[in-house]
Amino acid sequence: MIIDIYYVIPEIFISLSLMFLLLFGVFKKNSSSTVYSLSILILIISIPLILNVPSTGELLIFNESYKIDYLSNFIKILIVISTLFVLLTSSQYLKSIKIYNVEYPILILSSILGMMVMVSSNDLIVFYIGLELQSLALYVLASFNRDNVLSSESGLKYFVLSALSSGLLLYGCSLTYGFSESTNFDQILINSTEFNYGTTFGIVFILVGLAFKISAVPFHMWAPDVYQGSPTSVTLFFAILPKIAALSVFIKFLYTPFANMNDQWQTIIVFISIASMIFGAVAAIGQKNLKRLIAYSSISHMGYALAGLATVSNQGIQSSITYISIYLVMNLAFFSCLFMLKRNDKYYENIEDLSGLSKKHPILSFSLLIVLFSLAGIPPLAGFFAKFYVFLAVIEQSMYFLAIVGLLATVVAAFYYLRIIKIIYFDPEKEEYETSHNLGLKITLAISTIFILVYFIYPSSITEIVSKITLI
């Protein structure tokens, strides 16, 4: 048991830190800045702790309910690093809209603790505990700006619909347990060699619940409203972190307990992937709000990530993880630009607010240009390689229809990204935005833009790391 604890030191460290911050925030008045800074420090310390955990092969601990492997460690690193950048970019924004409270970083940490548990789970019960720990924090975060009607509305929508999806997930888990006689993933795999309707329905309900978490079609209805209504810093968190965690759980479920039943779930994943790619690309065209646009854009991007999983191959899994890694960098860059659209203590988030931005803010405009081109998948930027790896995996498995749909969706998506670029560079200029931004925001924008821009020099940088993930 003592040896087992050694492997979960990162999770224990974050949970103890959470308790300390909570008590510190309650007993010490005006401690928002201190708690925020300590949260950033906790995340920085967590990175070497995760890296220190051995990840060679598969290690099962706590009565085989918790799995430590290369996939879970890689996803945990992604989660912690992206959360770190989310906190670095958000501080000035939170102060401006007067929600710079103690609770914010604590809820963020609580959410990522749930994600880490979820990512390493090898048991239905452990998975569900992790999921609910993540979700409970997200419910509060969605409505964090409670004085804003839109924020309260988005919190309520997210709570109701997420509770429904969690219920469906729980029902799917119950069915799977009932027909396979175990909650352990490896045991479910052994016990589900024969076809039965109970386990099939269990798979369907679990996939529906997970599809909601990544806002894939047809379970996307919450995303545009929640993205628009939530504070921008929370929207950034929603756009990245739950998606990474949920995608890794998709991989876990499909390729561990349900590995024998790929002929049953493959069709579902292909359908969700095609529907998400098409709908996300088409629905984004008419949007005027940048946060709603990125919501529909993220639906489309999740379609591409799922396309990799639909291939039922190691190459497909690796392409999906590579895709989500590049996707998070693009989102960080996009939202960093959004945080800079500030004038007279007010943040602007409509597409028309970008009109003539290049005249007075050439560097910001250039960053946005790079990000939007990358999101559209224009070579030689990072976004192109992300899609290229997915298409490569899909064509390798002779799934030509999926590749053609993905290509067409890319062309449609390129239209609304190019429209924004036209507005930035060719439309009449508007009043100048503020240029004084905090250092964390500038660093995040610089790092993410440079990464997108120079990725083509060494395109195998992520794929070499990801290639160690083999599940089939």
pLDDT over threshold 70, residue 325: yes
- Is the pLDDT at 353 greater than 80? The verdict is yes
Whole-angstrom CA distances from 255 to 106, 157, 258 are 33, 32, 6
* Contact present, 353 and 368 (Cβ < 8 Å): no
The pTM score is 0.93
3-state helix, strand, coil split of the chain in percent (to 5) is 75, 5, 20
Query: Average pLDDT, stretch 348-368?
Result: 86
- 197, 261 Cβ separation under 8 angstroms: no
Report how far residue 189's alpha carbon sits from residue 199's, in angstroms, rounded to the nearest whole number. Answer: 11
Q: Is 30 left (phi over 0), alpha (psi -120 to 50) or beta?
A: left
pLDDT of residue 80: 93
Is 80 exceeded by the pLDDT of residue 472?
no
pLDDT of 198 reads 83
Task: Indicate the pLDDT class of residue 467, thresholds 50, 70 and 90.
Answer: confident
pLDDT value for 67 = 87
**For residue 2, is pLDDT > 70?**
no
The pLDDT, as a whole number, for residue 149 is: 85
Query: Closest Cα to residue 83, out of 237, 261, 275, 283?
Result: 237
Question: Is residue 15 a contact partner of residue 133, using CB atoms and an 8 Å limit?
Answer: no
What is the distance between the alpha carbons of residues 138 and 134, in angstroms, rounded to a whole number? 6
pLDDT of residue 223 exceeding 70: yes
**Structure tokens, 310:** 């639909």
Pick from 64-68, 234-238, 302-306, 334-338: least confident:
64-68
At residue 20, the pLDDT reads: 92
For all residues of the chain together, what is the average pLDDT? Answer: 88
**With bands split at pLDDT 50, 70 and 90, how would you rate the model's confidence at 55?**
low
Which residues lie closer than 8 Å to 258 by C-beta, 6 or more apart? Answer: 188, 189, 192, 203, 264, 265
Q: How far apart are the first and last CA of the chain?
A: 30
Q: Which residues of 46-58 are buried (b: 16+ CB within 10 A; e: fewer)?
A: beebbeebebeee
CA gap 215, 282 in Å, rounded? 16
> Model confidence over 113-141: pLDDT tens digits?
999 999 999 899 999 999 999 999 998 88
Strand partners, 121: 66
